[in-house]
Chain A
Amino acid sequence: MEELRVNEYNLKDIYTIEAGNFVTAGEASSNIKTLLKRLGVNSSKLRNIAIASYEAEINLVIHSKGGQMELLVSPNEVIIKIDDIGPGIENIELAMKEGYSTAPDSIRVMGFGAGMGLSNMRNNADDFKIESKLGEGTHICMKFNI
């Protein structure tokens, strides 16, 4: 994954995402949105960022063993990096397919598991990168031009 020179960014924030916690799910995305709104990011870009960050956050809650989201803001871009501690994705191409989901029934009854999360991220970010290794973890980097 591309190394970011963080000192070029005026703002940095890290959020911890807990696996399986549906009560706090969405809080990181909500905090990110509030912060960016205060910084004056326009509402249509805010919507793109909110959709992409929420999908990434909820995936960590549903599919991962937990991880973190990092927000980096510079005058012309917002970067959200998502790193989890496993279990990793075996076939990224398949996971990216709209409609593909391994979510169990207990998750599907809540309305999750439509298999649209990764494509929602890709469609809303100006740049989307994903890397994953089974047994290790998944790393996503999304860039938004502001």
Chain B
Amino acid sequence: MTIEQIANKHGFATVTKCADTSRGIKSAYCCDLLSWVMSHGTADMALITIHTHMNVIAIAALLEMSCIIIPENIEIEESVINKADEEGICILKSQKSAYEISGLLFADGILPAVK
């Protein structure tokens, strides 16, 4: 599924302004420990995390992730959104918890990355 399809289906808001939402999501990972994200992250992955600082964007970009999904409508600073747009990493935001978002994506057939 694409970022756009996921966002529309579950009512996730697209926070970034120009990052490509037609990009596919091939896997997902939910974690707030960044070294774990680093070692488990792969290309075209959706990352579900509560962190909204600059370094999450840097990590997602380095690993060529597809998008970042922020749960519970956590505030995201404008500078971080701009950085994500610059790096071409889409940020989605939802009212739902990380647990609920994970469940929705899993039910959509987006599975953990195969190592």
Chain A residues in the interface with B (C-beta under 8 A) = 22-23, 25-27, 29-30, 33, 43, 47, 50-51, 54-55, 58, 110-112, 114-117, 120, 123
Contacts and interface: CB of A to CB of B under 8 A. Distances in A.
A51 B38 contact: yes
B51 A29 contact: no
Interface in B22-46: 32-39, 42-43
Nearest to A53: B62
A27 B61 CA distance: 11
24 contacts: A22-B54, A22-B55, A25-B55, A26-B54, A26-B59, A26-B61, A26-B62, A29-B62, A30-B61, A47-B43, A47-B63, A54-B38, A55-B35, A58-B55, A110-B34, A111-B32, A111-B33, A111-B55, A112-B35, A115-B35, A116-B38, A120-B35, A120-B38, A123-B39
Nearest to A33: B62
Interface of B: 32-39, 42-43, 49, 51, 53-56, 58-59, 61-63
A47 B49 contact: no
Contacts of B38: 51, 54-55, 116, 120
A30 B89 CA distance: 14
Contacts of B62: 26, 29-30, 33, 50-51, 54
